Amino acid sequence: MEHLIALTAALLLDLWLGDPRWLPHPVRMMGSLIHFLESRGNKGSLRRFKGVAMVLIVCSVVFVITWSITALGYHVHVGLGVVLESFFIWTTISLKGLKEASMNVYTPLTESDYTRARQHLSMIVGRDTEHLDESELARGAIETVAENTSDGITAPLFFALLGGAPLAMLYRAVNTCDSMVGYRHDRFYHFGWASARLDDVLNWVPARLTSMLLLLLEKSTFQTKREAITLLVHHSKRHPSPNSGWGEAAFAILMGIQLGGENRYFGEVSMRPTIGIPFEKMDAEHIKTAHHFMVRATLYMTLLLWIGGAGIEVAVTWS
């Protein structure tokens, strides 16, 4: 129950304060450690082995520090332990930050200020944005929200229930390793392999659970839930990531739009399979619709965790 109270308090803190820049944020500290280890280990031979060592070191340091601080808090008083857990879990959630980042694209789009919209989108995606029109700018923002609803919100909450702040922080450590070194180009191809694969493993259940909850509990453009879920399973496999496709497919099906398609990276065209059926043409307003489904997914996951956690508590009490 302490984990449930802490994760709920953490979510409320994120909705209220977001990610304040004045806070000495643990994720930034993780990033500094990852950069330090990468700059020294990502050279010479045995890069894949060094990458494995890097992610194990980062996870171990983060887990041990978080566990030690929260355990000490609980030893002093259960209330202090819950407060410390709430703080740590809060730093793993990015609902408000994700909404603000995509709203920075939405607002100039509604004012037909495509130059500013392209600048803001370039801060949250890796693709070239210089020549994107309104529909493509909206697609970039929607895909960011869809992919990160699990990564940045529901997955940390899921692991917070399973193992409290230490496990939520360990998840965030893996996710940060993946975001910094888990790329397939030459520099990180071998060194980032372990980070990318471990991130795929940890996100496997939360990504699918989040998407299924959305399609089961929200009204989609399809007549039956069976049609929507069949399309979700089929189209989620089109994405190069084993997990991100589930979020994109769920959002696309619910909104009746099509994601994926042509992207440019450093001037080179990259064709990604399309996801969803385009009943509507994307525009700026679909970004706000994506926010709606992001909040709903968070609500559904939190309720599910409370039901599951309370059920476990009752079972343990009875036993």
**312: which residues sit within 8 A by CB, 6+ positions away?**
none
- In the chain, the number of structural domains is 1
The predicted pLDDT at position 223 comes to: 65
- Structural domain including 187 reads 2-318
For 3-23, write each residue's pLDDT tens digit.
Answer: 999 999 999 999 998 887 777
Considering only residues 142 and 221, tell me which one the structure prediction assigns the higher pLDDT. 142
For 229-240, write each residue's pLDDT tens digit.
Answer: 999 999 999 988
For 35-93, write each residue's pLDDT tens digit.
Answer: 998 888 888 788 889 989 999 999 999 999 999 999 999 999 999 999 999 999 999 99
164 in the Ramachandran plot: left (φ > 0), alpha (ψ -120 to 50) or beta? left
CA distance 143 to 129: 14
Q: How confident is the model at residue 224 (pLDDT cuts 50, 70, 90)?
A: confident
Q: Which H or E run contains 238?
A: none
Least Cα distance to 188 among 31, 318, 295, 54 occurs for 54
